[in-house]
């Protein structure tokens, strides 16, 4: 459409030209009402001006379409989001649309200026999603790919990107190991598939694949400021993840940070303050209850006259503050995004705090005619410091200490006792301080060689250094010498990729082909030193290690490690569309890894998938009830290489002992002896995961109701294990190998639903949505009757195991003696399954699994004019938790000896006070829960009405409640728990032992856009 912008005094000249030519009709904008010929008749016109912006961020939208309903007349917003449209005087409704946003109809009602706020259409199939080495329109994706935009992220106190996803995607299970700030987060995509290889997916940030190694502690993704993330895309099935080959078996999570937009300069500031407190305290006996219960068990009450809630003494109302400043914008050739963030988060246990400072700069520069050369730069820096006391020790004392012992003496000082530790002393005497500096960045120039052919280079670096100081200060009471242990960690991850992409779009045929090469090198190093026996002084050992007096190597031998992993890859993808209805995608990757044997350096990982846009067929096209309908099917093969380095090589150990040394002379010291610790195996290769997926994407009622359903079957084989040699005459007790016949299967069904509705006239809108996953996991053809994992802790429980990998059962199965009650003497009885008259490990049973077989979440939001309310719930069922804390602490004998417990210890009157508490199903509990993850109430101020529109584009206040309640039968601190009790590298699941309790929080936030 041609547009002529006319000044008022030029209008007669134009009209004269129209009369003379009798053939020219003009359309356009005018600054005031006038006459326009339309089908030979004159109609009175009106000029409507205004702006279009993002309702969530306040960002002005350039290129939005504004039209008059029922009239073929439209215009577009300029680079400042402004529009001016000439409409008939009787026009009543404007229609405003923009790709990725919900189309909105606005009543004119005699107004000449209308400002429109569009809601993001997160379910719109036209949105762009990130896939490996490129992007695709969601409507063209044939694999199981789920995208989450920033406006749909979880709200609250967020430390790592995984928390943004929790409960938001079917098939993705996020669990926090504990409630500690910066603590590890577990995440699986469609279930775990390995024994020694872990289940963590591959994370790719702006095209840079990360190494999952932790640099000094905490979650390895804590360095990313969640405020800088634009979107998170999850590749779930093998047809989508095969492009990442040997690292795609556990799924791939692609994180895209924010970018600037041309002509939309913006300065955004956000600040929040949060208050957190203990969500659920353990129901320990109060002092009065303790005084009553101890004598009932025949114990001699040790009463110091106090009334102390030790849980309350070691916890606090924690304060969190978060500040973020972001600048973005640009012109046609250059766009940029720059940000600075600061988060200071106190833990609810005293003396525990995590501080993070982060900065980011992303820029895109275009060169030459038609933007033939485009250079993208992404740079992120962060400094993270985590201070923590000895958490498990403090929690153990807090739940076990005699409540009649005062926490403070008559002088208000910490009370000191000979027979009991006051946990408050640890806050003064012990520190564990980790400081991590991390820089990630990549530069990606792309050159259009000829029409349709683009070459791209991606060079990236991820450099991290970490220092961890573990300090035990000297003390007279209790008497101890003091110790300083220091770890220095260094990780460097470098990447260089080159690839070509060719696209051909002609009529019915659309073809895209991509091929490339990648080389990645990861260097990890760690060094540690220690020193003992510090004098009592005001100088912290961290600041002067030279004060240490014991320099002997016996207790202070330095240590260290280092390894290099290299990965060379060749990859490619072909996508083809016919008539915008029939879709084909094929991926291939060949990976060569230094982790594997000389005979199996390379692995090959193909995949293919098909799609059919049923809604584009003639029998459905234009249907008012079905707006989109797409059938997908795919198959692929991926790998898993997350194993220790160098295991293909022989390992020797030199020691001096009676079993490794031989006396060369009758007197004198033994010489060092060298023995095999590990045999070489040049045949080791990747674990292989094959996955089949069938899916259906749909949209009904003009997109108001949308969703997807997927059925998947993932089989992992070639399982990597450290096994015992079949030949008993071997120089080493174990070696690594692939167990050819062993498999781990994950299969299930995923369902996502979303319903959106907006009533323009009333200003009311709402959406409801949710997802549910049914999933089963099974181990088959293991060479062992059980592979033990999950070491128990506590007095009398050392060396006991809790989990087991068992044929016919899921990963995370609890393999335990079956507790059947008490005998006549009040002692525990257990099922004698083999009927040999002796209850032993042979009588253990598979008693359930820590893996839930149902994951679900639901959310809803409602907005009325400037107010909005959003709530997110998530839950799991079908899983168990082993309460190792109760097993080690809450039984009658403890209580009779003046150690506090919960009422669980006296739940059975018939139980003897001398009954032991070994590992058994007695302490296996239901782990299902439903949690209100977060709820937010917000208000968007009308800056025009406030008279500050020229300075402030948007102003928003909100309050968020996080983890306000959880419905569960589990009586520990929280059912979402997974204490790491790994045995020899074999993962454990669902064990709770002295876990850091979860917090409930209220956060007040301010967002301003200039």
Q: Tokens 């201070």 correspond to what residue?
A: 387
User: Ramachandran region of residue 950, left (φ > 0), alpha (ψ -120 to 50) or beta?
Assistant: alpha
Express each pLDDT in 925-943 by its tens digit. Answer: 999 999 999 999 999 998 8
Average pLDDT rounded to a whole number, residues 864-877: 93
Contact 405, 415 (CB under 8 A): yes
If one compares 665 and 698, the residue with the highest pLDDT of the two is 698
End-to-end CA distance of the chain: 34
Instruction: Write the DSSP symbol of residue 995.
Output: P
Express each pLDDT in 688-700 by its tens digit. Answer: 999 999 999 999 8
3-state secondary structure 795-837: CCCCCCEEEEECCCCCCCEEEEECEEEECCCCCEEECCCCCCC
Average pLDDT, the chain: 87
Cα dihedral 714→717→720→726 (10° resolution): 150
Q: Is the pLDDT of residue 17 over 80?
A: no
Report the share of the chain in percent with pLDDT over 90: 59
Q: What is the pLDDT of residue 837?
A: 87
Instruction: Write the DSSP symbol of residue 886.
Output: H
Q: At 929, give phi and psi (nearest 5°).
A: -160, 160
Contact 227, 886 (CB under 8 A): no
Alpha-carbon span 602 to 587, nearest angstrom: 17
527, burial (CB in 10 Å: exposed 0-12, middle 13-18, buried 19+):
middle
Strands 880-883 and 991-992: parallel
Return the CA Rg of the chain: 33
* Neighbouring C-beta atoms of residue 960, cutoff 10 Å: 22
Alpha-carbon span 773 to 770, nearest angstrom: 11
Cβ contacts of residue 603 below 8 Å, gap of 6+? Answer: 245, 246, 590, 591, 592, 593, 596, 639, 685, 686, 688
Q: What is the pLDDT of residue 241?
A: 93
Q: What is the pLDDT of residue 1?
A: 36
Q: Is the pLDDT of residue 124 over 70?
A: no
> DSSP E strands: which ranges in 701-795?
705-717, 719-723, 735-739, 743-759, 764-780, 787-791
Q: What is the pLDDT of residue 663?
A: 66
Residue 232, beta-bridge partner list? 148, 255
Express each pLDDT in 467-487 by its tens digit. Answer: 999 999 998 877 888 999 999
Q: Could you give the strand order of the β-sheet that contains 65-68, starting from the edge strand earlier in sequence?
A: 74-76, 65-68, 93-97, 104-107
558, burial (CB in 10 Å: exposed 0-12, middle 13-18, buried 19+):
exposed
Cα dihedral 892→894→899→901 (10° resolution): -50
Contact 574, 513 (CB under 8 A): yes
Q: What is the pLDDT of residue 621?
A: 79
**Residue 652 confidence class, pLDDT cut points 50, 70, 90:** confident
Tell me if the bond preceding 802 is cis, omega within 30° of 0.
Answer: no
Average pLDDT rounded to a whole number, residues 126-151: 86
* Neighbouring C-beta atoms of residue 749, cutoff 10 Å: 14
3-state secondary structure 134-183: EEEEHHHCCCCEEEEEHHHCCCCCCCCHHHHHCCCCCCEEEEECCCCCCC
- In the chain, % helix, strand, coil (3-state, to 5) comes to 10, 50, 40
Average pLDDT rounded to a whole number, residues 339-367: 95
> DSSP E strands: which ranges in 452-508?
453-472, 483-506
**Residue 8 confidence class, pLDDT cut points 50, 70, 90:** very low
**Residue 642 confidence class, pLDDT cut points 50, 70, 90:** confident
3-state secondary structure 960-987: EEECCCEEECCCCCCCCCCCCCCECCEC
What is each CA distance from 111 to 49, 108, 138, in whole angstroms?
9, 6, 37
Alpha-carbon span 372 to 369, nearest angstrom: 6
Q: Is the pLDDT of residue 16 over 60?
A: no
Residue 540, beta-bridge partner list? none
Alpha-carbon span 354 to 735, nearest angstrom: 41
What is each CA distance from 644 to 129, 596, 604, 708, in whole angstroms?
33, 10, 21, 38
Residues in the chain: 1010
In 486-596, alpha helices (H): 553-556
Express each pLDDT in 290-325 by its tens digit. Answer: 999 999 999 999 999 999 999 999 999 999 999 999
Cβ contacts of residue 264 below 8 Å, gap of 6+? Answer: 59, 60, 61, 62, 79, 80, 81, 328, 329
Cβ contacts of residue 419 below 8 Å, gap of 6+? Answer: none
Q: What is the pLDDT of residue 123?
A: 46
What is each CA distance from 1003 to 321, 326, 935, in whole angstroms?
9, 21, 10
Pick the closest to residue 261 from 339, 362, 134 (CA basis): 362
Instruction: Write the DSSP symbol of residue 935.
Output: E
Q: Which two tokens stand for residue 83?
A: 């529009």
Alpha-carbon span 426 to 993, nearest angstrom: 19
Express each pLDDT in 56-111 by its tens digit. Answer: 667 788 778 888 877 767 788 887 888 888 888 878 888 888 765 777 888 887 88
Q: What is the pLDDT of residue 56?
A: 65
Pick the closest to residue 736 from 723, 754, 750, 755 (CA basis): 723
Report yes or no on whether pTM surpasses 0.95: no
Alpha-carbon span 194 to 882, nearest angstrom: 21
DSSP helix/strand/coil, 604: strand
Alpha-carbon span 876 to 930, nearest angstrom: 7
DSSP helix/strand/coil, 778: strand
Contact 615, 633 (CB under 8 A): no
Measured CA angle at 809 (ends 805, 812), to 5 deg: 50
Sign of the alpha-carbon torsion through 223, 225, 228, 230: positive
Express each pLDDT in 951-1002 by its tens digit. Answer: 888 899 999 999 999 999 999 999 999 988 888 888 899 999 999 999 999 9
Express each pLDDT in 166-218 by its tens digit. Answer: 999 999 999 887 889 988 888 999 999 889 887 889 999 999 999 876 666 66
Q: What is the pLDDT of residue 137?
A: 85
Pick the closest to residue 178 from 217, 224, 216, 234 (CA basis): 217
Q: Is the pLDDT of residue 807 over 80?
A: yes
What is each CA distance from 913 to 295, 296, 538, in whole angstroms?
12, 10, 47
Instruction: Write the DSSP symbol of residue 295.
Output: H
345, burial (CB in 10 Å: exposed 0-12, middle 13-18, buried 19+):
buried
Contact 901, 920 (CB under 8 A): no
Cα dihedral 943→945→949→950 (10° resolution): -150
Q: Which two tokens stand for residue 537?
A: 């002084």
Contact 120, 104 (CB under 8 A): no
Q: Which two tokens stand for residue 987?
A: 């993962």
Contact 954, 1009 (CB under 8 A): yes
Cα dihedral 155→160→163→169 (10° resolution): 110
Pick the closest to residue 878 from 858, 851, 857, 856 (CA basis): 851
Strands 41-54 and 113-118: parallel
Pick the closest to residue 472 from 483, 460, 459 (CA basis): 483
């Amino acid at each position: 459409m041609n547009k002529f912008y006319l000044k008022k005094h030029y209008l007669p000249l134009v009209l004269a030209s129209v009369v003379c030519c009798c053939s020219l009709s003009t359309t356009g904008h005018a600054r005031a009402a006038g006459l326009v010929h339309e089908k030979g008749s004159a109609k009175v016109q009106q000029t409507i001006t205004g702006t279009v912006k993002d309702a969530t961020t306040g960002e002005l939208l350039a290129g939005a379409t504004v039209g008059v309903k029922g009239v073929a007349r439209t215009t577009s917003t300029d680079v400042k989001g402004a529009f001016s449209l000439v409409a008939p005087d009787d026009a009543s409704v404007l229609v405003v649309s923009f790709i990725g946003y919900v189309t909105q109809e606005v009543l004119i009602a005699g107004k000449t200026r209308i400002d429109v706020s569009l809601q993001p259409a997160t379910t719109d199939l036209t949105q762009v999603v990130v896939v490996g080495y490129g992007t695709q329109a969601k409507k063209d994706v044939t694999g199981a790919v789920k995208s989450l935009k920033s406006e749909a992220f979880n709200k609250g106190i967020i430390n790592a990107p995984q928390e943004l996803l929790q409960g938001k995607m079917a098939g993705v299970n996020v669990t926090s190991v504990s409630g500690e700030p910066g603590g590890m987060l577990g995440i699986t995509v469609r279930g775990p598939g390995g024994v020694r290889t872990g289940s963590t997916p591959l994370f790719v940030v702006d095209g840079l694949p990360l190494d999952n190694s932790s640099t000094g502690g905490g979650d390895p993704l804590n360095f990313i400021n969640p405020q800088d993330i634009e979107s998170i895309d999850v590749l779930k099935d093998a047809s989508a993840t095969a492009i990442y080959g040997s690292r795609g078996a556990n799924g791939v999570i692609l994180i895209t940070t924010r970018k600037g937009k041309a002509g939309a300069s913006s300065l955004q500031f956000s600040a929040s303050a949060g208050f957190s407190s203990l969500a659920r305290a353990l129901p320990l006996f109060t002092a009065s209850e303790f005084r009553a219960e101890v004598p009932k068990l025949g114990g001699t009450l040790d009463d110091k006259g106090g009334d102390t809630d030790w849980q309350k003494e070691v916890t606090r109302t924690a304060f969190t503050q978060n500040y973020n400043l972001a600048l973005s914008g640009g012109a046609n050739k250059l766009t940029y995004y720059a940000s600075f963030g600061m988060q200071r988060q106190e833990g609810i246990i005293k003396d525990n705090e995590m501080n993070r400072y982060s900065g980011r700069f992303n820029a895109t520069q275009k060169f030459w005619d038609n933007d033939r050369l485009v250079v993208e730069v992404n740079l992120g820096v962060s400094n993270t410091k985590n201070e923590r006391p000895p958490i498990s020790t403090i929690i153990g004392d807090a739940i076990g200490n005699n409540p009649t012992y005062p926490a403070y003496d008559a002088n208000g000082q910490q009370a000191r006792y000979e027979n009991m530790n006051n946990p408050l002393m640890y806050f003064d005497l012990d520190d564990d301080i980790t400081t991590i500096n991390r820089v990630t960045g990549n530069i990606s120039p792309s050159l259009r060689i000829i029409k349709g052919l683009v070459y791209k280079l991606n060079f990236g670096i991820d450099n991290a250094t970490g220092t961890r100081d573990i300090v035990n200060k000297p003390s007279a009471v209790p008497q101890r010498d003091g110790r300083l242990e220091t770890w220095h960690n260094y990780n460097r991850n470098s990447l260089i990729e080159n690839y070509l992409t060719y696209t051909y779009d002609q009529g019915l045929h659309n073809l895209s082909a991509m091929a490339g090469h990648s080389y990645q090198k990861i260097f990890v190093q760690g060094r540690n030193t220690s020193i003992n026996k510090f004098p009592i002084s005001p100088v912290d050992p961290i600041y002067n290690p030279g004060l240490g007096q014991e320099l002997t190597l016996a207790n202070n031998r330095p240590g260290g490690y280092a390894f290099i992993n290299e990965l060379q890859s060749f990859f490619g993808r072909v996508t083809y569309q016919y008539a915008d209805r029939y879709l084909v995608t094929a991926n291939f990757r060949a990976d060569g890894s230094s982790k594997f044997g000389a005979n199996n350096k390379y692995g090959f990982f193909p995949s293919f998938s098909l799609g059919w846009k049923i809604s584009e067929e003639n029998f459905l096209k234009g249907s008012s009830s079905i707006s989109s309908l797409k059938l997908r099917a795919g198959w692929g093969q991926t790998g898993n290489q997350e194993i220790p380095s160098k295991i293909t090589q022989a390992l020797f150990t030199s020691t001096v002992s009676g079993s490794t040394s031989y006396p060369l002379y009758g007197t004198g010291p033994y010489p060092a002896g060298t023995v095999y610790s590990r045999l070489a195996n040049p045949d080791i290769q990747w674990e292989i995961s094959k996955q089949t997926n069938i899916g259906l994407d749909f949209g009904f009622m003009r997109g108001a109701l949308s969703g997807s359903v997927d059925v998947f079957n993932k089989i992992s084989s070639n399982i990597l294990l450290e096994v015992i040699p079949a030949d008993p005459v071997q120089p080493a007790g174990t070696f690594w190998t692939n167990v050819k016949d062993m498999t781990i299967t994950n299969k299930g069904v995923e369902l996502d639903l979303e319903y959106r509705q907006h009533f323009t006239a009333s200003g009311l809108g709402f959406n409801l949505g949710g997802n549910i996953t049914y999933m089963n996991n099974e181990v088959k053809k293991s060479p062992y009757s059980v592979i033990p994992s999950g070491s128990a802790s506590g007095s009398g429980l050392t060396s006991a195991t809790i989990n087991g990998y068992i044929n016919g059962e899921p990963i995370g199965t609890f393999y335990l003696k079956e507790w059947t009650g008490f005998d006549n003497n009040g002692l525990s009885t257990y099922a004698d399954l083999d009927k040999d008259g002796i209850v032993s490990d042979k009588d253990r049973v598979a008693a359930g699994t820590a893996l839930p077989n149902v994951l679900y979440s639901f959310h809803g939001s409602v907005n009325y004019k400037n107010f909005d309310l959003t709530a997110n719930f998530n839950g799991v069922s079908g899983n168990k938790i082993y309460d190792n804390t109760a097993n080690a602490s809450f039984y009658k004998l403890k209580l009779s000896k003046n150690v506090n417990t919960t009422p669980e210890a006296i739940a059975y009157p018939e139980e003897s006070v001398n009954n032991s508490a070994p590992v058994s199903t007695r302490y296996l509990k239901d782990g299902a829960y439903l949690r209100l993850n977060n709820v937010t109430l917000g208000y968007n101020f009308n800056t025009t009405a406030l008279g500050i529109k020229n300075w402030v584009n948007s102003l928003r206040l909100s309050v968020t409640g996080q983890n306000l309640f959880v419905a569960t039968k589990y009586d520990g601190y929280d059912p979402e728990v997974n204490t790491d009790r790994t045995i020899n590298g074999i993962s454990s699941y669902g064990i709770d032992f002295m876990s850091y309790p979860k917090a409930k929080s209220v956060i007040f936030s301010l967002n301003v856009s200039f």
